[in-house]
Chain A
């Protein structure tokens, strides 16, 4: 086991627009090779009061990119005299990702709310392409979600519908992607502000071949019928 392997956030990250704002969601697993270095990471990082970014890929690369963007956006906000727009934040991320494409390995989803365009999501995959989307998925866990979103996504969802969709999706990806796991975190951004939510494993639905968690076998033995441990 290579404990000195690069910290990678295998990850599942999602950004979804709804009628009024955006919802960003992510899992919380950071792995070093096969070891889980952090089981409760926060992959949804603040850039400004109204713009956040979901990080995937190399932990180091995504952290340094978001640090630089936060630094530049801070100065931009002071100079502009009002909150930066989501588009400007996303383009700054693109600039750094594109100009350092040979060295970076990070896929990002920028989401936020501004008074000009409302809620917006921008996907910035490897290479530094920028693409505005009604919803975006990224990270290794996203492979398992293309079909899910093709079927479940609708335009004009309410805040609660959109958040439920995000939580369900991250939870489905965690079920199948070894590089994703832990808790589901969401960040809701709209005209009223920013709300962080936290969904630990026990609040998530059970999927195929997953069982209800128990404290101990002893509890099963005590509550169930006479011969649960019968000789085969």
Chain B
């Protein structure tokens, strides 16, 4: 009845900042416990105003991108000067996910949709394959909910600068790298503003292991781990 996912992506994090939205995701495609693919782009621009990040089954994400391609194409063909904004795209995605869920044939994804149109910033998630959706100033999928959101609840504030926003996302991604088994050290950060979408080239973060407790974990308790 329900099928199961094969190639999966892990957390996506999104935050609102001064000029728009910042989103981060690593480039891993896991196959069960194997870190099989290490160059999967899990964030893609949609039209002129939106950015979609996905975790979960990659083949379903690829199919969603095809649906969205068609949606944007038909919208452009009206040639009426109007273009689908992030709210509309988010609504479309919610309907698709919920309708598939009702037919017991879900798209096995958790999605983050962010964008800016006419100065209005939008950041929403469609949480998992059951169609639950909401908007917030900071959102995450998967492990990100447990590890990143607490950090964001404490340190996010209105009108973050680009630099502060990137540093905040990197702080979250580093924790995920330490503590999420499916995370890999190769990530991208994407920015969306009124001007458009930019996705950074892939890069890696430095990790820290220099605690004396790490070097000598069993001092004072021989035999422990």
Contact = CB atoms under 8 A, between A and B. Distances in A.
Contacts of A123: 37
B2 to A, nearest CB: 10
Contacts of B188: none
B59 interface: yes
A129 B3 contact: no
B3 A102 contact: yes
Nearest to A136: B37
Contacts of B36: 125
B57 interface: yes
B34 A146 contact: yes
Contact of B37 (A98, A102, A131): A131
Nearest to A131: B37
Given A98-B59, A101-B59, A146-B34, A131 B6 contact: no
Nearest to B1: A102
Contacts of A92: none
A84 to B, nearest CB: 20
Contacts of A126: 6-7
B34 A129 contact: no
Interface in A127-160: 127-131, 133, 143, 146
Contact of A127 (B34, B37, B40, B59): B59
A200 B6 CA distance: 34
A125 B6 contact: yes
A46 to B, nearest CB: 25
B63 A125 contact: no
Interface in A195-218: none
B196 interface: no
Interface string B18-40: 00000000000101001011011
B142 interface: no
Nearest to A126: B6
Contact of B62 (A101, A102, A129, A146): A129
B26 to A, nearest CB: 15
B13 interface: no
B29 A127 contact: no
B58 interface: yes
B40 A101 contact: no
Contacts of A101: 3, 59
Interface string A165-184: 00000000000000000000
B40 A131 contact: yes
A130 B62 contact: yes
B31 A125 contact: yes
A126 B59 CA distance: 9
Contacts of B40: 131
A128 B34 contact: no
A93 to B, nearest CB: 12
B6 A127 contact: yes
Interface in A93-126: 94, 98, 101-102, 123, 125-126
Nearest to A127: B6
Considering residues B36, B39, B57, which has the most beta carbons from chain A within 10 angstroms of its beta carbon? B36
B65 to A, nearest CB: 11
Nearest to A97: B59
Contacts of A125: 6-7, 31, 36
B63 A127 contact: no
A169 B148 CA distance: 40
A133 B34 CA distance: 17
A176 to B, nearest CB: 16
Contact of A128 (B29, B37, B59): B59
Contacts of A131: 29, 37, 40, 58
Interface of B: 3, 5-7, 29, 31, 34, 36-37, 39-40, 57-59, 62-63
Interface of A: 94, 98, 101-102, 123, 125-131, 133, 143, 146
24 contacts: A94-B59, A98-B62, A98-B63, A101-B3, A102-B3, A123-B37, A125-B6, A125-B31, A126-B7, A127-B5, A127-B6, A127-B7, A127-B57, A127-B58, A129-B29, A129-B57, A129-B58, A129-B62, A130-B59, A131-B37, A133-B37, A133-B39, A143-B34, A146-B34
Given A129-B6, A146-B34, 4 more contacts: A125-B6, A127-B57, A133-B39, A143-B34
